[in-house]
């Protein structure tokens, strides 16, 4: 069986620290597309006001890559490459979790007042979503 098919794996997901300018007046963090995130940022959106116990995400993207940041509060990000699973707790405004395309991800355990910022490599496109987990597993499986 050929293993040359390029599947995406959890190894490519990584936590990165952005520049943090500490100041007695308060902290400042910034990101530049292509420098602090490994893609040009085409879209930003944020999730907030999540009621206790609710989950967001629960899908993968065919093409979109993203950087997930807990701007305020905390939440968990569950990652799944079709073979293995891993969970990250995000709780710092200067820390980003990079998630490439073709990784199933789900966000949960939002604290009160949590704000989740997502920097994305693509504009919104519903056709880029894989919302069915068995379809995702099938797409991640190397061809025989």
Active site residue 88: no
| Catalytic site residue from 36, 59, 78, 133 | 59
Q: Are 82 and 7 in contact (CB under 8 A)?
A: yes
Q: Are 72 and 27 in contact (CB under 8 A)?
A: no
Give the CA distances from residue 102 to residues 71, 79, 81, in Å, rounded to whole numbers and listed in that order.
24, 10, 7
Of the pair 8, 56, the CB lying nearest ligand TYD is at 56
Give the CA distances from residue 113 to residues 48, 58, 76, in Å, rounded to whole numbers and listed in that order.
7, 21, 14
Residue numbers at the binding site for ligand TYD (CB under 6 A): 43, 45, 47, 56-57, 124
Of the pair 43, 86, the CB lying nearest ligand TYD is at 43
Least distance to ligand TYD, CB of residue 95, Å: 20
Least distance to ligand TYD, CB of residue 119, Å: 12
Q: Are 22 and 13 in contact (CB under 8 A)?
A: no
Of the pair 42, 86, the CB lying nearest ligand TYD is at 42
**E-strand spans in the chain?**
14-17, 20-21, 28-29, 43-48, 56-61, 66-72, 75-80, 85-90, 95-99, 104-108, 115-120, 129-130
Least distance to ligand TYD, CB of residue 6, Å: 25
Least distance to ligand TYD, CB of residue 30, Å: 22
Of the pair 36, 56, the CB lying nearest ligand TYD is at 56
> What positions carry a catalytic annotation?
59
């Amino acid at each position: 069986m050929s293993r040359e098919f390029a599947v995406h794996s959890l190894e490519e997901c990584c936590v990165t620290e952005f520049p943090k300018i500490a100041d007695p007046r308060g902290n400042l963090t910034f990101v530049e597309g292509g420098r602090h995130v490994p893609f040009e940022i085409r879209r930003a959106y944020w999730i907030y006001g999540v009621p206790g116990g609710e989950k967001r995400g629960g899908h993968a993207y065919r093409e979109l890559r993203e950087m997930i940041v807990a701007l305020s509060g905390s939440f968990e990000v569950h990652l799944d490459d079709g073979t293995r699973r891993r969970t990250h707790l995000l709780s710092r405004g200067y820390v980003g979790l990079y998630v490439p395309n073709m990784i199933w991800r789900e966000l949960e355990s939002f604290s009160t007042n949590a704000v989740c910022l997502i920097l994305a490599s693509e504009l919104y496109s519903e056709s880029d979503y894989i919302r069915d987990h068995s379809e995702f597993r099938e797409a991640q499986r190397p061809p025989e």
